[in-house]
């Protein structure tokens, strides 16, 4: 079936389901006494998606803590994010739910089983449930939790199930959408700047120190894998940038990635001098990676989870962007740089359902980005950040 037909059918199915839900909610709502909790004492927050999605929600969770300073905050994440979620300072407790439409490592659970799981949370007596995902399915999960007050986005469907529902602005950064949701729930302004909320345990820092040892600076991370084929910049070009940085700055290159990325990492590693490489790909967990990233002078990567993790710990980033829209997902630190090209079709944001003409090879929006541009951006970041006496501050402006 052509993808555009599948997309159209999915939109029709969502609209139909939303109409049914709206009718049920409209009929049921008069029989329920809905009271906004002031202030909420127990809060449920859902962020079931991937690493980057969770990390882009950190400023909103910091806002949530500032507006509900004494509340218990339970965060629901995919199991792949559980350890990382426990390092988020405002969070009181972490629970895992693996949704079938998001799980890569396992099959995950179907929506009916997830709704049943959510119903088992009812004894927790949540005053407020917040769904940070514009998705009808997770809106159903939030509603099934039995929270006194529910909030989220109506754009993906299921808005009638929520007490507070706003449109998800597809032109805005994911972080700004999440912060705007918190501002709307509490009817309060949020500050322009927020403090970091990711606190890696001491063990992660100790592991990072052991892995990096006495490696010579500058320490430059290179995350070769794009995570998905549609976002993959050629590994040979990552290697070319790394080689030139070694030659011009005397850098040590730290290769990062998961076990599934080994082939890409080996391709890049083959053309680099072994004495200038620390290869940790596939050997560490996310928390240790956060400790490693915090020690780097720069990370060069595509639009990936480690990019967002570097942002969270204050490490400058050079991000190579193709189909992803940097206005929605890009790093925004003082020294961060995004390298991309302007094409009529880019950014398309069709990551999960890429255009047929872009499948099976590097898409034009990435193939046309040369190593020269990424190398120049890296040198610029290193030069500018070296002039600062402290790590660059991360800011998140409110919508």
For residues 338-347, average pLDDT: 95
117 lies in the same domain as 251: no
In this structure, is residue 13 part of a structural domain? Answer: no
176 lies in the same domain as 250: no
212 lies in the same domain as 321: yes
23 lies in the same domain as 156: yes
Beta strands in the chain (DSSP E): 42-47, 72-77, 93-96, 128-131, 149-153, 164-166, 219-223, 252-256, 277-279, 298-302, 317-320, 337-339
**pLDDT score of 33:** 52
Query: Per residue in 226-248, pLDDT tens?
Result: 999 999 999 999 999 999 999 99
- Domain end, chosen from 136, 158, 186, is at 186
The closest of 218, 37, 214, 46 to 127, measured between CA atoms, is: 37
Confidence of residue 158 (pLDDT cuts 50, 70, 90): confident
> Is the pLDDT assigned to residue 396 strictly greater than 60?
no
Report how far residue 397's alpha carbon sits from residue 399's, in angstroms, rounded to the nearest whole number: 7
117 lies in the same domain as 158: yes
Query: Per residue in 103-149, pLDDT tens?
Result: 876 678 899 999 999 999 999 999 999 999 999 999 999 999 999 99
In this structure, is residue 194 part of a structural domain? Answer: no
Containing H/E element for 3? helix 3-28
In this structure, is residue 336 part of a structural domain? Answer: yes
Structural domain containing residue 245: 203-386
Confidence of residue 198 (pLDDT cuts 50, 70, 90): confident
Beta-carbon-side half-sphere exposure of residue 50 (alpha carbons within 13 Å): 18
In this structure, is residue 1 part of a structural domain? Answer: no
> Is the pLDDT assigned to residue 66 strictly greater than 50?
yes
341 lies in the same domain as 289: yes
76 lies in the same domain as 166: yes
CATH value at residue 327? 3.40.50.2000
41 lies in the same domain as 106: yes
> Is the pLDDT assigned to residue 352 strictly greater than 90?
no
Q: Which residue has the higher pLDDT, 156 or 222?
A: 222
């Amino acid at each position: 079936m052509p993808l555009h037909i599948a997309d159209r059918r999915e939109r029709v199915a969502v609209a139909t389901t939303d109409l049914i839900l709206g009718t049920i909610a409209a009929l049921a709502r008069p029989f329920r006494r809905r009271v906004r909790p002031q202030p909420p004492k127990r809060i449920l927050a859902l962020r079931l998606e991937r690493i980057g999605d969770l990390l882009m929600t950190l400023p909103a969770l910091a806002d949530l803590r500032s507006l509900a300073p004494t509340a218990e905050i339970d965060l629901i994440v995919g199991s792949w994010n559980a350890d990382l979620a426990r390092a988020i300072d405002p969070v009181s407790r972490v629970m895992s739910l693996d949704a079938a439409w998001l799980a890569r490592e396992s099959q995950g659970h179907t929506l009916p089983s997830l709704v049943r799981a959510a119903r088992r949370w009812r004894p927790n007596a949540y005053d407020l449930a917040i769904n940070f995902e514009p998705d009808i399915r997770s809106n159903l999960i939030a509603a099934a939790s039995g929270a006194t007050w529910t909030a989220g986005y109506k754009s993906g469907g299921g808005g009638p199930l929520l007490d507070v529902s706003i449109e998800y602005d597809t032109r805005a950064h994911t972080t700004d959408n999440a912060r705007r949701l918190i501002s709307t729930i509490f009817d309060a302004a949020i500050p322009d700047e927020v403090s970091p909320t990711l606190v890696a345990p001491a063990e992660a820092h100790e592991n990072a120190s052991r892995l990096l040892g006495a490696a010579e600076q500058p320490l430059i991370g290179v995350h070769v894998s794009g995570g998905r084929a549609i976002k993959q910049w050629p590994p040979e070009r990552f290697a070319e940038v790394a080689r030139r940085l070694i030659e011009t700055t005397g850098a040590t290159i730290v290769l990062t990635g998961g076990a599934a990325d080994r082939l890409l990492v080996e391709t890049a590693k083959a053309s680099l001098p072994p004495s200038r490489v620390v290869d940790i790909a596939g050997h560490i967990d996310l928390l240790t990676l956060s400790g490693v990233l915090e020690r780097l002078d720069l990370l060069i990567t595509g639009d990936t989870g480690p990019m967002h993790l570097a942002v969270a710990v204050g490490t400058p980033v050079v991000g190579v962007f193709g189909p992803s829209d940097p206005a929605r997902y890009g790093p925004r630190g003082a020294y961060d740089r995004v390298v991309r090209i302007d094409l009529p079709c880019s950014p398309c944001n069709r990551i999960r359902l890429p255009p047929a003409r872009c499948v099976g090879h590097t898409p034009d929006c990435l193939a046309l980005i040369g190593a020269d541009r990424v190398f120049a951006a890296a040198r610029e970041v290193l030069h500018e950040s070296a002039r600062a006496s402290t790590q660059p501050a991360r800011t998140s402006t409110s919508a």
